[in-house]
């Protein structure tokens, strides 16, 4: 079993829809949770960062962490075609090595 599980999709939604992405993990030592966005033929780019449990909002993006369930989510409101990318969850414990999910490919249709 992988340390971080993420459904690879692909996920296709119409423009303006809410995109819901999630990851589960098995390592209870993880405390730092991130979402990266990766466009085709580019390196990942940090989108959201959350420490421990709770919600964080940044514009159209909301990240949620539920440590009791070992489950994290990313919601994208009012999705745009420019949001079409692969979204990777990442997390680390105090050793700061990042463990990534496999990534979910999202396509937002105009």
Partner 1 sequence: DSGVTQTPKHLITATGQRVTLRCSPRSGDLSVYWYQQSLDQGLQFLIQYYNGEERAKGNILERFSAQQFPDLHSELNLSSLELGDSALYFCASSYSSTGGRDEKLFFGSGTQLSVL
> Considering the complex, what minimum distance in angstroms separates the CB of residue 68 from partner 1?
21
Residue 2 has which token pair?
Answer: 């992988």
CB nearer to partner 1: give 79 or 89. 89
Instruction: Name the residue among 47, 46, 69, 45 with its Cα closest to residue 60.
Output: 47
> Considering the complex, what minimum distance in angstroms separates the CB of residue 70 from partner 1?
18
Query: How would you classify the pairing of strands 45-51 and 32-38?
Result: antiparallel
Site for partner 1 contains 24 (CB under 8 A):
no
In the list 73, 99, 105, 107, the residue contacting partner 1 (rule: CB under 8 A) is 99
**Half-sphere exposure of residue 94, counting CA atoms within 13 Å on the CB side?**
1
Q: Which residues bind partner 1 (CB under 8 A)?
A: 32, 34, 41-46, 49, 88, 90, 92, 94-103
């Amino acid at each position: 079993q992988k340390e971080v599980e993420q459904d690879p999709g692909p996920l296709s939604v119409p423009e303006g829809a809410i995109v819901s992405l999630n990851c589960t993990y098995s390592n209870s030592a993880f405390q730092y949770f991130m979402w990266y966005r990766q466009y085709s033929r580019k390196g990942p780019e940090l989108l959201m960062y959350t420490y421990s449990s709770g919600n964080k909002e940044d514009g159209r993006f909301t990240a949620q962490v539920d440590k009791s369930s070992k489950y994290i989510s990313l919601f994208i409101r009012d999705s745009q075609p420019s949001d079409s990318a692969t979204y990777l969850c990442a997390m680390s414990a105090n050793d700061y090595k990042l463990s990534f999910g496999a990534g979910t490919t999202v396509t937002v249709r105009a």
